Chains A and B, each alone.
Chain A
């Protein structure tokens, strides 16, 4: 039994397709990530799951319910954190939390153990207005508010966007703790490196899921050879490698370059020779395991 089940889902805004024939399943108590850039359709998909939007066509079941018909019942089981920390800026931390608890027919006390680890971090500032909080604190408050009624499914739309790196790492730890309470979590993010922290992910681009599965599965389904080129002269080497015969793609990844070539056609030695012939020395080339970003770049260009 799946917690979320989606088949052939389509949604258009006017003539622009926002979601194009989407298929997706999320198991109970799974930590599921929707990964993709802005405009990939992540928010639209989440709004359809939360019953805030209706799909044009396709099959959709969330917690065994149809978001089109049974939205009232379904909405009780959902915790939802929209994209831009939807909090009341003029209310204090405590007032925000109490308000959402009341509206969902519960009290802060009742589910305090669920939010304790998160809320205790901001509780010392509970009389501060939400508008005056830092990004990390807003994020923690928004998460507490979404959790306060003990939802079955927690849906988080880009919770880490606009938050510093330290808070982001803390946030993912918090999500793992929430998962231990038996809650299913669906989270969207534009940061590809966060994908590895999820149980299963779907890579999304332009309204389509271009690949899905666990992060390891996605890496292992990478169909071509990936070479990691280490050099001091990144821009020059990148320029040289763009002329490599039968190149699929090459991208810079911080201090190295990732070169994708047709499987089993080229040896590392050939790459070293090719670069050195162009006058760049002192380079290291080795075969590498593809990261999520490699998969994303590969699948989004091969899907066009």
Chain B
């Protein structure tokens, strides 16, 4: 066995023997994707509403049946009087109540105008406004079909959400989770594993061994690179098969961009490991310098456009931002690698800078 493979073997033994490491590597990524994919949602699914139909004519009944036919809405109850409204909301039975006025159809025909009221539970404002637009669309569609009321409106606005027609939030969360997980595994785990050698005193022996510094560094980083690529691929597969995220671009390009991002994160981990001799410090730096910006400033959860200027400028140094832009254009828009050349060059530039800094800071001695 040669020196380097012996070293690699030892690194894999460290990883496979430590339950905590194994969980972080293989359990948490899948859990995170599933949590973000299923639990945190911007879209409406199975929203409960009630209907108070004071008119009970053909028009109001047709609209009601359209509402209950919608995949995203469940009509749980038909109310008979205004007095029941309060109770429905208080007991959290429904998110919205649709009210048709008396003589709804008659008014529509005669006066070209009829009133529908939507009362929403706005204690969750996001759901309320989404539900509002869902219900409005269904009602308007019905009326314009049956009564052709848009004579007065010269043009009809028909928005279409391209690249994500259903406005599915997993399109956003799965790439975001990938950025997060790759960052954690590669940067945090690799920096901690190098710092552990320093803390245990084994780094002293490695340094006086004939292993060259680049062999020590490569041996430390390579296992995490391999495992991250495996993780990236498995997250993409989960997204593809469970959340039906399309992969319109080429798989090769997608993996290439992931590989560039992983290399960048590894060199970041290497740099962190040269800054400290304590595992806790390495972890602290990784969490605050890498995790939080990756979550908050990459456009993963909060849109960057709505942030104050200061934070927008700060986002330019967050690698995950470029990575997300690149993989989204590959996965969702089917673009080739040339389309994301800016993002990719920024990532490569960052990698070179970080490796340069680490080489300058890596010590062949103890101080």
List residues of A whose CB falls within 8 A of some B CB. Answer: 47, 50-54, 71-72, 75-76, 78, 80, 82-91, 95, 98-100, 102-105, 145-146
Contact = CB atoms under 8 A, between A and B. Distances in A.
Interface of chain B, main secondary structure: helix
B366 A88 contact: no
A107 to B, nearest CB: 9
Interface in B179-218: 200-202, 204-211
Contact of B209 (A53, A88, A91, A103): A103
B210 A88 contact: no
B181 to A, nearest CB: 24
6 contacts: A52-B207, A78-B208, A82-B201, A90-B13, A90-B17, A102-B3
A86 B200 contact: yes
Given A86-B201, A86-B202, 6 more contacts: A72-B210, A80-B205, A91-B10, A102-B3, A104-B209, A105-B3
Nearest to A68: B365
Contact of A86 (B9, B204, B211, B366): B204
B202 A87 contact: yes
Interface of B: 1-3, 6-7, 9-10, 13-14, 17-18, 200-202, 204-211, 364-367
Of B7, B13, B201, B206, most buried by chain A (CB within 10 Å of CB) is: B201
A76 B200 contact: no
B202 A88 contact: yes
Nearest to B17: A90
Given A47-B366, A71-B364, A52 B209 contact: no
B15 to A, nearest CB: 10
A75 B366 contact: no
A50 B18 CA distance: 32
A131 to B, nearest CB: 10
A65 to B, nearest CB: 13
Contacts of A80: 204-205, 208
Contacts of B208: 50-52, 75, 78, 80
A51 B365 contact: yes
Contacts of B209: 75, 100, 103-104
A100 B366 contact: no
Contact of B3 (A47, A71, A103): A103
Nearest to A129: B17
Nearest to B14: A90
B18 A90 contact: yes
Contacts of A50: 204, 208
B83 to A, nearest CB: 69
A52 B1 contact: no
A83 B200 CA distance: 10
A52 B13 contact: no
The 9 closest A-B pairs by CB, nearest first: A102-B6, A86-B201, A75-B208, A86-B202, A82-B201, A52-B366, A90-B17, A82-B204, A103-B209
B1 A102 contact: yes
Contacts of A95: 10, 13
Nearest to B5: A102
Given A86-B205, A105-B210, A99 B6 contact: yes
A83 B201 contact: yes
A88 B205 contact: no
